[in-house]
Amino acid sequence: MSTDKIYNLIILDESGSMSSIQKATISGFNEVVQTIKGIEKKFPDQQHFISLVSFNGLDIKTLLDKQPAASLSPIDEKTYQPDSMTPLYDAIALSVLKLKIDVAGIENANVLVTILTDGEENASKEFSHAQLNNIINELKNLGWTFTYIGANHDVEKVAHSISISNTLKFEANEQDMALLFHTEKKARERYSEKLSNKVEDMQTGYFDKFEENQDSANA
C-alpha cells in the first residue's frame, strides 16, 4: 500500500489584535493537532506532518517544522504571544516557499495550507500582493490546497485577491472561535477522506456545507 504524505502548514496571525482570543486560538490549534492524530488512525494509508508558522511585526517564527503529528505536544501561552502588526504577505510567501523546497521530489506529497488572521496585511517588507498571488497560483498548479480563515475584514475579497477560494469567516470572540475550529475539524476530516478515496479535485469546496452550518448557528 502506498502512503500519502500530507504536509499540514498552518500560518497563524500573532499580531496584537489577536490578544483577545489568545486562549481560544491556542485551544483551537491544539484541537487541530488532535484531529490530525485521529485522521492518521482512521486512514492508515496517510502520514501527516505539521508545520506551524506564527507571524507579527516583530518576527515570523517557525514553531513546528514538518513534525510527525503523532509526536506533537500542545502549544501554550508561552508559545503564542500576540503583539505588534500584520506582515501577512511575507508570512505566507516565506512559509510556502520554504515548504516547496522541502517537499520537492517527495513521492505522494500533498500540501494543505491553512491561513488564520483577524486583520489585513499592513507590515510586509519582502513580498508584494502581486508576488504572493503569483506564488500561490504556481503552487496550486502543483496540487496544493489553500484555505483562508479571517475576521474583522472582507475575508472573501482578500482571499480571492490572492487566488484562494476556500474561505471561512469568524467573529473575534471565544464562542465563534470554538465554532470555527469545529467547522475546520470537519472540513479537514473530509479532505483526508477525499484523499483516501482518490478524489481528483482536492483544491476546491474545502468548507462547502460546513460554512453554511456555521452561518446558521450565528444567525
Per-residue pLDDT reduced to its tens digit, 27-48: 999 999 999 999 999 999 999 9
CATH number at 97 reads 3.40.50.410
Dihedral sign (CA 34, 202, 25, 180) = negative
**Cα(209)–Cα(166) distance, rounded to whole angstroms?**
12
Packing angle, helices 210-218 and 174-196, rounded to 10? 160
Q: What is the pLDDT of residue 61?
A: 97
Closest by CA position to 23, among listed 62, 99, 76: 76
**Cα(130)–Cα(94) distance, rounded to whole angstroms?**
15
Q: How confident is the model at residue 209 (pLDDT cuts 50, 70, 90)?
A: confident
Helices and strands per DSSP (H, E), number in the chain: 6, 6
**171 to each of 22, 51, 73, how far by Cα in Å?**
14, 25, 27
Q: Work out the percent of the chain whose per-residue pLDDT is above 70.
A: 95
Packing angle, helices 129-141 and 88-103, rounded to 10? 30
DSSP 202: -
Q: What is the pLDDT of residue 211?
A: 60
**Cα(156)–Cα(154) distance, rounded to whole angstroms?**
6
CA atoms within 13 A on the CB side of 145: 24
* pTM exceeds cut of 0.75: yes
The boundaries of the domain holding residue 88 are: 4-218
For the cut 90, the answer to whether the pLDDT of residue 122 exceeds it is yes
Please state the domain count of the chain. 1
**Cα(167)–Cα(176) distance, rounded to whole angstroms?**
15
Q: What is the pLDDT of residue 2?
A: 78
pLDDT digits (tens, 9 = 90+) for 125-177: 999 999 999 999 999 999 999 999 999 999 999 999 999 999 999 999 999 99
For the cut 80, the answer to whether the pLDDT of residue 216 exceeds it is no
Q: How confident is the model at residue 218 (pLDDT cuts 50, 70, 90)?
A: low
Closest by CA position to 8, among listed 73, 67, 71, 77: 67
